[in-house]
Amino acid sequence: MEPLNVEHAGRTLRGVLHLPHPNPAPAPAVILCHGLGGNRIGGGNDFVVLSRLLSAQGFACYRFDFAAFGESDGDPLDFSVSDQVSQLKAVIAGLERNRAIAPDRISVLGYSMGALVAVLASGDRPLRSLALWAPAGGPLNLPFWEGGPFRDQIREHGRADYNGVAFGDAFIDDLYGIDQFAAARRHEGPVLLAGGTEDGLMRAELIDPYREVWGDRLEQHWIEGMDHGFGSLANRDSMFEVTAAFLSRTA
């Protein structure tokens, strides 16, 4: 495990690279993208545990903080999904230049907002495979963002507060220009889509268009009773197992 930062738009994105030992350089790589308000550690240390699991199976694994989250530079008021997509593409480009990594064998795993970002990035850059945990709905969730108190909070306080996560108009305004399903059509590799049966982000209107786009290239995994978070070590281990097996077959 070694620090590996990426410079993007005048900001330092701070991250950590796990290399397999022994390292079969160049190794296939997996980039981990956290969700809204998250960081490269993951809730309950999940991203660290997963990175160690994947590196033990021969993968290079890179986890990083998006700008304005974790230890990366950036202003929360500048946060938007499109900016995170641009950051992820910079991370991919950096790993492609890393001699320890096979540039044509880079996959992305994203959780929630990070999964939405992964889909959007895959429309612009070839990726070996995608592993998506409960992808956020992007523009399909606009009624929630516009219907809540967030615009009023921004006008009154200069920022909105969503469960302790600050953001500005840039985040909501950006959602209008996003089309994750158009981006999905440009991704040609295999996809894992996984989540809980009780997770609102796994509802049909958000998931069915992916099924239509990816067809037989899409693998699905549902964990009975699980909500948006793992909720238990058993659920976490089940998600890790199916994800690692998918990446081993496809990366």
Q: What are 29-77's pLDDT values in tens digits?
A: 999 999 999 999 998 899 999 999 999 999 999 999 999 999 999 999 9
DSSP 9: T
The answer to whether residue 171 is domain-embedded is no
Provide the β-strand partners of residue 125: none
From the number of C-beta atoms within 10 Å of its C-beta (0-12, 13-18, 19+), residue 41 rates as middle
Cα torsion 143, 144, 149, 153 to 10°: value is -90
Work out the pLDDT band at 21, boundaries 50, 70, 90. confident
Residue 161: the pLDDT is: 97
The answer to whether residue 226 is domain-embedded is yes
Helix/strand/coil for 209: helix
Q: How many domains does the chain have?
A: 1
CATH of the domain at 220: 3.40.50.1820
Residue 24: the pLDDT is: 66
The answer to whether residue 149 is domain-embedded is no
What share of the chain in percent tops pLDDT 90? 95
The answer to whether residue 224 is domain-embedded is yes
Please say whether the beta carbons of 47 and 124 come within 8 A.
no
Please say whether the beta carbons of 224 and 197 come within 8 A.
yes
By mean pLDDT, which of 15-24, 47-56, 168-177, 214-223 is the weakest?
Answer: 15-24
Residue 251: the pLDDT is: 83
Domain that holds residue 191: 2-137+180-244
For CA atoms 130, 38, 46, 95, give the dihedral sign.
positive
The answer to whether residue 172 is domain-embedded is no
The answer to whether residue 117 is domain-embedded is yes
Residue of 176, 202, 48, 23 whose CA lies nearest to 102: 23
For CA atoms 98, 4, 118, 249, give the dihedral sign.
positive
The answer to whether residue 147 is domain-embedded is no
pTM: 0.96
Please say whether the beta carbons of 73 and 95 come within 8 A.
no
In angstroms, rounded to a whole number, what is the distance separating the alpha carbons of residues 83 and 15?
17
DSSP 63: E
The answer to whether residue 100 is domain-embedded is yes
